[in-house]
Amino acid sequence: MADSNENQQDKGKEQEQYGVLLYYKYTEIPDLNSLLSFYNSNCTSLSLLGRVRLSLHGVNVTVGGKLSSLENHIEAVKAISLFEGTDFKLASCHFPLNDKVAHECGFTSLSIRIVKELVTFTPYPLVKAPDVSNAGRHLSAVEFHSALQSAGKLVDKESLAEDKGLVLLDARNLYETRIGKFDMPNVDTLDPRIRQYSDLPSWIDDNSEQLRGKNVLMYCTGGIRCEMASAYIRSKGAGFENVFQLYGGIQRYLEQFPDGGFFKGKNFVFDHRISVGSADANILGTCLLCGLSFDDYSSRCRCSYCRMLVLVCDSCREEEAVYVCELCQKHGKVVESNVAENGEQQDILPQVQLKTISSDTILSPQLPGGQGKVLGLQES
Ligand SMILES: [Zn+2]
Ligand SMILES: [Zn+2]
């Protein structure tokens, strides 16, 4: 009797569910140091791994651990009045099986840091970040869905004259949009095709005429990137007032519309789940080399020049190969069939004049293994 009980307990342990928790909160933090020590002691005692970023203006958290520990963490955070109304996104998942992905995503350690900006929006440290209290209006998944739906219909009926017109703006990076995005017939969709979030302000500057006078519907993975970016668009003044953002991002939308709704493909995520799909199994991505349908980033192939993630299918993938992403190709980097001499792709970087890739792109060639972020691995 006792034996079987113990066995069951062992089994229960083995099957203990793991999870990933994401949340952010923009709010003025009066005592940053005491919040820092709260996170240090709480996350350490619950054995959580991942990243916690604190600034004077809020927190941004991506942590993983046992589901029960994550629930404990949520309760402790909820008890702090600053966090009232926070949207906690908790998902169960497998324990990281892919070490490389776990390492890249920061799920092999716990990193708690005080930073200037929760997400790096401004490419130059001296430029003042926009005021998030001026962010676009939050739309729930259902509101966002029906706004898209009626915009699609309005165009059908050609009754646009009285309507301001609506544009859909994807605030994410190119490699994310490649495998999944909102797609609504008859609705203009703007895809900035950027490598990283901090390239977005200059894209907005260059394309503001496409946004002027429109109802701008923005979305990103979990919502945090739209907070800053929508505030930035609105800061442009007259003609840029009507900016709306999908609250809780694609994540909450897919929970509300498990069949995918107007979202096609998979939602790229910045943890070891890599991407999250809906019941709609459509594959949007294509292999960089052969062009066949493919949307699995788990092999972590990257552009040899700019380190952006690229999709290379199983049959095209070769050890030590040199890949050139479509952005670098567009900017004149040639696809060569040669192979890096020692397989260390980072060795290629110093030979490249990064400045020639794009004059308005500030790249941070921080390489894997360093403390800095690997391009495109954090929702920032
Ligand atoms: Zn291929
Ligand atoms: Zn590239």
Task: Please report which ligand is nearest the Cα atom of 285.
Answer: 1
For the chain, the maximum distance between any two Cα atoms, rounded to a whole number of angstroms, is: 76
**Residue 220 annotated in active site:** yes
Q: Kindly give the distance from the C-alpha atom of residue 171 to the centroid of ligand 2, in angstroms, as a whole number.
A: 19
Helices (H), 46-195: 67-78, 99-104, 141-156, 174-177
Binned at pLDDT 50, 70 and 90, residue 45 comes out as very high
Q: Kindly give the distance from the C-alpha atom of residue 292 to the centroid of ligand 1, in angstroms, as a whole number.
A: 6
Which CATH architecture best describes the domain 14-114? 2-Layer Sandwich (3.30)
Give the separation between CA 303 and CA 322, rounded to whole angstroms. Answer: 7
* Given the residues 43, 105, 220, 306, the one annotated as active site: 220
**The pLDDT of residue 199:** 92
Task: Please report which ligand is nearest the Cα atom of 310.
Answer: 2
Q: Which residues surround ligand 2, an ion (CB under 5 A)?
A: 303, 305-306, 308, 325, 328
3-state helix, strand, coil in the chain (%, to 5): 30, 20, 50
Q: Kindly give the distance from the C-alpha atom of residue 296 to the centroid of ligand 2, in angstroms, as a whole number.
A: 18
Binned at pLDDT 50, 70 and 90, residue 372 comes out as very low
**The pLDDT of residue 153:** 75
Which CATH architecture best describes the domain 132-267? 3-Layer(aba) Sandwich (3.40)
Q: Kindly give the distance from the C-alpha atom of residue 225 to the centroid of ligand 1, in angstroms, as a whole number.
A: 31
Taking the mean position of all CA atoms in its chain, how far away is CA 69? 24
Give the separation between CA 39 and CA 150, rounded to whole angstroms. Answer: 44
pLDDT digit string (tens) for 95-109?
A: 655 677 777 777 788
Task: Please report which ligand is nearest the Cα atom of 375.
Answer: 2
pLDDT digit string (tens) for 267-323?
A: 998 887 888 888 777 899 999 999 999 999 999 999 999 999 999 999 999 988 999
**The pLDDT of residue 12:** 47
**The pLDDT of residue 100:** 72
Q: In 10 A of CB 206, how many CB atoms? A: 11
Is the pLDDT at 360 greater than 60? The verdict is no
Give the separation between CA 212 and CA 43, rounded to whole angstroms. Answer: 44
pLDDT digit string (tens) for 86-144?
A: 999 998 877 655 677 777 777 788 999 999 888 887 776 656 778 888 899 999 999 99
**Which sequence spans correspond to the domains of the chain?**
14-114, 132-267, 285-363
**The pLDDT of residue 126:** 54
Six-digit token string for 15: 């099957």
Q: Kindly give the distance from the C-alpha atom of residue 105 to the centroid of ligand 2, in angstroms, as a whole number.
A: 20
